[in-house]
Amino acid sequence: MSPALLLALLGITVPRVQALTCYRGTLVSVRSASELPLQWTTSQEHCEDGWSCQEVLMLMENGPHVYVVLIKGCTQAADHEALVTQHRAGPGLSIASYTRVCRENLCNHLSTSLPLWAPPLPTALGSVRCPVCLSAESCGSAAELTCPAESAHCYSGVLLLSAGSLTTHLKVQGCMSQAGCNLLNGTQEIGPISLRETCDPKAILTCHRGNMFRTSQDLTQKPVTWSANSEQLCNLGEVCQETLLLIDVGIRSLLLGSKGCSKARTQGSQAVSIHTGPPGVLVASFARFCSSDKCNSAASSSVLLNSLPHPAPPAPGDLQCPTCLSIFGSCTQNSDIVRCPKGTSHCYKGHIALRGGGLTSPVNIQGCLAQPSSSLLNGTKNIGVFSVIEDHDKAIVPDGAAPAPDLAWVGGLGLSLALWCGAPSLLIPFPHDS
């Protein structure tokens, strides 16, 4: 065994060479075939010890369009000579790649698409016409072109490409030499790029995407608009979702909304849930998972409000509780002491950690509660796309039927907290994903 290998097995790495500087850049673009061959310049980066320089160029030609993917930078991949691979031969749709990993300063210096490009050969045209399109959006009514005689099959599919944090989708229509959904001809990786394709248009949805966050006094009464300002192309197997969570403590309410793609929890479902109340703290939600394009299209919070009970404002009862609704911040110091509605019997103090759908929000809650159960969510772990964890103190049942509430005020905030919360204020840490 060589000393170097022995050291490697022991987990000790010996700096063999100095850290390299490599060209660095990413290009993902649909171009006109007439722009080829392409040329580019990129910036540089300093690598960590032992890393190499990488360059990957992928070209997908499709009649008048070319899809270009270029990735350059430092890598831990094994060194290899320049490699040109024809993954799918033309005429018509064709895919080729150039990959190289080298260990010299700025050795990933390919600056043109020439290694993968040859002037198009004259080809005899056949009689088949296909729509021809490369688009990150929708192909719509793509122009039809007459196919080369050797490529007499129309292909229509979606190419999913990911490399590190980069993920893109490309709708592809064009002429191919084979029938079926096999543009990639078995290729799944090109260097750091992972490739997948699907020809089932329903397998990939477009969904509305956007988050909403509102706090106000009257969100249980007045609907607010719930629009999403962008769209999202989902990954294979995902569906559209929209989730709206309403928390109201009487003096303040909070709405959290999320729209986007999601791995289906319960496909094709729509539900309004009232997790707690009224009277007292209200926690209610609307959640929908659906599987047609942009079906997560609820336009206002009335999808939830219309399903809530709207009793006449309850008469004030005898109970008083510290009341607070705080997102991100804590409730411990500044809670208002509020006279609770009739029908409530406990003071609640707790915290809901909420994650998912692009949101991470700890919500602190104090208020009046009707049920003897001291929980708002009763163990619920999921509300639509949100994962929720509730953490709460034992609900306080004030002694005596009618505590002398005004006395609490006399003593000021400190006394009222002591009276109604019993225990010293507690900062509940935000739970982390397990």
Ligand X SMILES: *[C@@H]1O[C@H](CO)[C@@H](O)[C@H](O)[C@H]1NC(C)=O
Contacting residue, 379, 412, 424, 429, with ligand X by CB under 6 A: 379
Are 123 and 149 in contact by the 8 Å Cβ rule? The answer is yes
Q: How far is the CB of 96 from ligand X (least distance, A)?
A: 10
Q: Which is nearer to ligand X, 273 or 360 (CB)?
A: 273
State how beta strands 52-62 and 65-75 pair: antiparallel
Q: How far is the CB of 368 from ligand X (least distance, A)?
A: 16
Are 336 and 310 in contact by the 8 Å Cβ rule? The answer is no
Are 374 and 361 in contact by the 8 Å Cβ rule? The answer is no
Q: Which is nearer to ligand X, 30 or 274 (CB)?
A: 274
Per DSSP, the chain holds a count of helices (H) and strands (E) of 4, 25
Q: Look up residue 292 and give its DSSP letter.
A: S
Q: Which is nearer to ligand X, 58 or 204 (CB)?
A: 58
Neighbours of 179 (CB within 10 A): 10
Told to check if 346 binds ligand X by CB under 6 A, we report no
What would the two tokens of residue 253 be?
């309410």
Per-position x/- string for 10-39, each x denoting binding to ligand X as judged by CB under 6 A, each - no binding: ------------------------------
Number of residues that bind ligand X (CB under 6 A): 8
Report the site for ligand X in 400-419 (rule: CB under 6 A).
Answer: none
Told to check if 185 binds ligand X by CB under 6 A, we report yes
State how beta strands 166-176 and 153-163 pair: antiparallel
Told to check if 177 binds ligand X by CB under 6 A, we report yes
**What is the side-by-side strand order in the sheet with 253-263?**
230-233, 206-216, 253-263, 238-248, 282-290, 269-276
Q: How far is the CB of 373 from ligand X (least distance, A)?
A: 6
Q: Which is nearer to ligand X, 19 or 274 (CB)?
A: 274
Q: Is 417 helix (H, G, I), strand (E, B) or coil?
A: helix
Per-position x/- string for 357-376, each x denoting binding to ligand X as judged by CB under 6 A, each - no binding: ----------------x---
What would the two tokens of residue 282 be?
């209200």
Q: How far is the CB of 22 from ligand X (least distance, A)?
A: 29
Told to check if 274 binds ligand X by CB under 6 A, we report no
Tokens 């490699």 belong to: 83
Q: How far is the CB of 90 from ligand X (least distance, A)?
A: 8
* Bridge partner list, 427: none
Report the site for ligand X in 66-85 (rule: CB under 6 A).
Answer: none
Tokens 């995902």 belong to: 238
Q: Which is nearer to ligand X, 162 or 178 (CB)?
A: 178
What would the two tokens of residue 57 be?
């160029």
Contacting residue, 237, 378, 397, 407, with ligand X by CB under 6 A: 378
Q: Which is nearer to ligand X, 158 or 376 (CB)?
A: 376
Q: Which is nearer to ligand X, 13 or 378 (CB)?
A: 378
Told to check if 88 binds ligand X by CB under 6 A, we report yes
Contact residues for 185 (Cβ-Cβ < 8 A; gap 6+): 87, 88, 95
| Nearest-angstrom CA–CA distance, 104 and 19 | 9
Q: Which is nearer to ligand X, 99 or 416 (CB)?
A: 99
Q: How far is the CB of 228 from ligand X (least distance, A)?
A: 31
What would the two tokens of residue 265 be?
């929890």
The residues that touch ligand X, with contacts defined as CB under 6 A, are 88-89, 177, 185-186, 373, 378-379
